[in-house]
Amino acid sequence: MEIMEIMEYLPHRYPFLMVDRVLETTENKITGIKNVTINEPFFQGHFPGDPIMPGVMIVEGMAQCGGLLVLKQVEDRKSVSPYFAAIDKVKFKRPVRPGDQLRYEVEITVNRGTLCKMTGKTFVGTELACEAEMTAVIVKRNQ
């Protein structure tokens, strides 16, 4: 899935779209990537002279991948959005810096229609950078 198709699914736009490409999807799993560049707006203040991607942005990227996976299973995806309901057991294992490519691997563990639980892992190469459990709810969009 290329960026134009991703933008058909997700309402996020610059500077908050955290998925550049989807490499693979199955019914319950998705793998996506984000190319991290020094041009990301958060690097101006996080931290000058020692740029590190904020952990919340890494988790947001995993959540967006999970949202893509959930929306692929919804018939009328343009009328709904997946919203974060909970984030649990988040662990950061290594810093993410400009030049890194993030690989998000997200799996749905529970799907109850409007409520989905997922596990996510983010890798830089073969190194685990972050892991989390996430819960999303599907809500009608205000149009």
Catalytic residue from among 46, 72, 97, 121? 46
User: Could you give the residue ranges of the DSSP H alpha helices within the chain?
Assistant: 3-9, 55-71
Instruction: Identify whether the C-beta of residue 21 lies closer than 8 Å to the C-beta of residue 3.
Output: yes
Non-local (6+) Cβ contacts of 85 within 8 A are: 115, 135, 136, 137
Instruction: Identify whether the C-beta of residue 39 lies closer than 8 Å to the C-beta of residue 15.
Output: no
Alpha-carbon gap, residue 69 to 63, rounded angstroms: 10
Please choose, from the candidates 6, 19, 2, the residue with its C-alpha nearest in 3D space to the C-alpha of residue 106: 19
Please choose, from the candidates 7, 11, 39, the residue with its C-alpha nearest in 3D space to the C-alpha of residue 21: 7
- Answer yes or no: 12 catalytic: no
**Active centre residues (catalytic):** 46
